[in-house]
Structure 1
């Protein structure tokens, strides 16, 4: 749409207008990624408070105080102003509230740093068992309701670390990487944090597995010695810490703090199935099976998150790395998980006791078979759903080598859109 020169007090020179309009047009229609897709697949798309739409809008919606209200000195006005400032700080720096909660917990424990303090159950593992057998290599821990307190506390811990790392470390990194729009910065921060988390927890999971009878994904070891009612400290901490991670992800996701993506229902379903597997496997002593499922998803999520991050910054190795990710996804989430699923029809019934005994803590029976099979089957179906899109993206990349980004108009920040209009300077808009 062209604008007449009479509407501008200082109309642009003809040569300048043409150059700037072409520049603005190119900015709008540039290629946004090497793969030409946002890679909205997998379970690494859960938002954080810092990158949610509510935060992006709320961080800049501070109400300015009028000169008249600023002069009023009533206690009610001061209280409202203070609350407004606190609210603005918590919205702008979303790690402040979880940091405050953690400080309260730690101060409460510091007042009486003993096991008699109930807060110790939130911070440290509970149900430590006496070492009756001198030949026992590791100290064992039992299970109980206080484990829920442990998961709750570390859900807050992970909320703090996620928000703090993303805002104070990854946002500057996203700007340094050349990402201008707030939307792309948000997605880049989310994926980089996910890659950082699983880059640590993946190797930790393999180390924990190496100390168990199921190394390397030995399905027979998952059922030998069942029921597995006790574990060493490293195993229990890893299992419950991972439960806290998935709980934190699910809470923020279900709060609806970002615009739902196309596979939002599948993503929510994946979180529900994952939390059900975590809770039931821990309660009914199928934790060795749960550990294997943890690891296969953690490592594949690391490759998925790093692949997305490379795609956002248009890195030249994005294509080959995406192929590496696709191979890891197929091997970990399908080959190994199908191996675990098939074991339900073989080793699950033949290795170890196959009986329902509530008093003895043995729950390996027909009911457990159907529940476990249903949950693992649902998880496999969701992963196959995402595999279809993963393969389709790879096919389009091989076919087209580079594709235009259909999301450029929707995902640009307000600042970029306004800048494009100003630089266009009234030139005709190209389609």
Structure 2
């Protein structure tokens, strides 16, 4: 049964264009082609990357965070309460108003005290700034390395400049050692991300991240087996182009280097929107949908490859919406909203801020936002430095 399923799965008509079989893809002493079993190397390489990450975070990222002035916020621990603790462990969420009232009666507390306890308890489980800094530092190091590697590998390749060359000689395009190494680097990294995902900082777009990572792994694996290496390398270098700016932006946000953070964020936003909404559809999607069909009839691999690419494009549009909204806020209000997908702490200040906002809206007054020094500056009048307007609080919304 399993043998029959395997034979069916690896039928050449699923993977190769009409007229080609796996016999045409056999390796010789002079010519090497991608082989599915090569992908197994990504597993030990992924474990190696996890080990390198562990060493990097402790020997490089943690000392760097101290040198850059990272300061952890003092956490106020929730007072011991067996009833509330039991509810928190069972439900892992804030209780509803009716549940708050019930818990308050059980514990002989005021509902507001119960709400405050859950906020404090929830904040105890939030990742520290140091953990976030270390994670962003590791990803920064990888994305910068990967992007530079991609440019070095591809700068002298014909398909990097003329995208129709992606299909010249396909599928019998020999495997180059540099392309193999680049593929293994990327595939191993995304495998390592999936392995460590339960332990990494959990954002509000956790589900979208899982979809992105799994889709990327499927895309890299399928493109390797079907010898879509040329298209695959273009996809990888386009994605790394913006990612290598995102993670450093997070780093400078954590250490509150506002001007550097804002400059990097605007750079990242420009590159992300241009690369994901212009270059990717024009140079990759159009290429796979239309240029490939100038030479071949549609087959399963054609549909499957394009389906995976479209999933990525949907995610690009999803994230572009948030980025565009942040950039709009930056230029209109002089401030950037708190990250909608972040895990910033809850506090009584949040409650007061919400109440003040509602009161301000009722009175028709302009809202004020608190800057990092605790003073209040009207959003209507950006702070002026050296004759130039700048963000009043500098907070950036990062994924």
Q: TM-score range by the shorter chain?
A: 0.5 to 0.7
Ranges of 4+ aligned residues in structure 1 off by more than 6 Å: none
Q: For 1:394, which of 313, 320, 327 is the aligned residue?
A: 327
Mapped pair 1:296 → 2:238: yes
Report 1 or 2 for greater relative contact order, CA contacts < 8 Å, sequence distance ≥ 6. 1
Does the aligned pair in 1 maintain the 2:219–2:308 contact within 8 Å? yes
Q: Within 5 Å, which residues of 2 pair with 1:291-330?
A: 291-315=233-257, 316-330=259-273
Does the aligned pair in 2 maintain the 1:143–1:229 contact within 8 Å? no
Mapped pair 1:173 → 2:64: yes
TM-score calculated relative to the size of structure 1? 0.57
The residue matched to 1:178 in structure 2 has which SS? coil
Corresponding residue of 1:249: 193
Corresponding residue of 1:130: 29
Sort the Cα spacing of 1:237 and 1:141 in 2 relative to 1 into closer, same or farther, 3 A.
farther
Corresponding residue of 1:281: 223
The residue matched to 1:377 in structure 2 has which SS? helix
Q: For 2:281, which of 338, 344, 350 is the aligned residue?
A: 338
Distance in 2 (CA, whole Å) between partners of 1:403 and 1:234 is 41
Distance in 2 (CA, whole Å) between partners of 1:176 and 1:141 is 48
Does the aligned pair in 2 maintain the 1:175–1:185 contact within 8 Å? no
Distance in 2 (CA, whole Å) between partners of 1:372 and 1:146 is 20
- How far apart are 1:345 and its partner, in Å? 3.2
Sort the Cα spacing of 1:258 and 1:199 in 2 relative to 1 into closer, same or farther, 3 A.
closer
Sort the Cα spacing of 1:162 and 1:141 in 2 relative to 1 into closer, same or farther, 3 A.
farther
Where structure 2 has 5 or more consecutive residues not aligned to the other structure, the ranges are 1-25, 73-126, 348-399
Corresponding residue of 1:192: 137
Does the aligned pair in 1 maintain the 2:61–2:137 contact within 8 Å? yes
Distance in 1 (CA, whole Å) between partners of 2:187 and 2:293 is 27
Q: Within 5 Å, which residues of 2 pair with 1:51-70?
A: none
The residue matched to 2:132 in structure 1 has which SS? helix
Distance in 2 (CA, whole Å) between partners of 1:377 and 1:190 is 28
Sort the Cα spacing of 1:257 and 1:401 in 2 relative to 1 into closer, same or farther, 3 A.
same
- How far apart are 1:341 and its partner, in Å? 0.7
- How far apart are 1:402 and its partner, in Å? 3.8
The residue matched to 1:262 in structure 2 has which SS? coil
The residue matched to 1:231 in structure 2 has which SS? coil
The residue matched to 2:286 in structure 1 has which SS? helix
Mapped pair 1:201 → 2:146: yes
Q: For 1:409, which of 342, 345, 367 is the aligned residue?
A: 345
The structure whose residues are more often helix, as a share, is: 2
- How far apart are 1:164 and its partner, in Å? 0.7
Distance in 2 (CA, whole Å) between partners of 1:161 and 1:226 is 37
Distance in 2 (CA, whole Å) between partners of 1:404 and 1:178 is 23
Once the two structures are superposed, what CA deviation does each residue of 1:205-227 show, in whole Å capped at 9, x if it has no partner? 112112422123x3201111100
Mapped pair 1:214 → 2:159: yes
- How far apart are 1:155 and its partner, in Å? 1.0
Corresponding residue of 1:164: 55
Distance in 2 (CA, whole Å) between partners of 1:236 and 1:404 is 42
Does the aligned pair in 1 maintain the 2:136–2:247 contact within 8 Å? yes
Where structure 1 has 5 or more consecutive residues not aligned to the other structure, the ranges are 1-126, 132-139, 356-364, 412-431
Q: Within 5 Å, which residues of 2 pair with 1:148-163?
A: 148-163=39-54
- How far apart are 1:229 and its partner, in Å? 4.6
Sort the Cα spacing of 1:377 and 1:323 in 2 relative to 1 into closer, same or farther, 3 A.
same
Sort the Cα spacing of 1:235 and 1:276 in 2 relative to 1 into closer, same or farther, 3 A.
same
TM-score calculated relative to the size of structure 2? 0.61
Distance in 1 (CA, whole Å) between partners of 2:172 and 2:248 is 35
Does the aligned pair in 2 maintain the 1:223–1:348 contact within 8 Å? yes
Mapped pair 1:260 → 2:159: no
Superposition RMSD in Å: 2.3
Once the two structures are superposed, what CA deviation does each residue of 1:337-388 show, in whole Å capped at 9, x if it has no partner? 10111223321100x4x15xxxxxxxxx332232122111110110111111
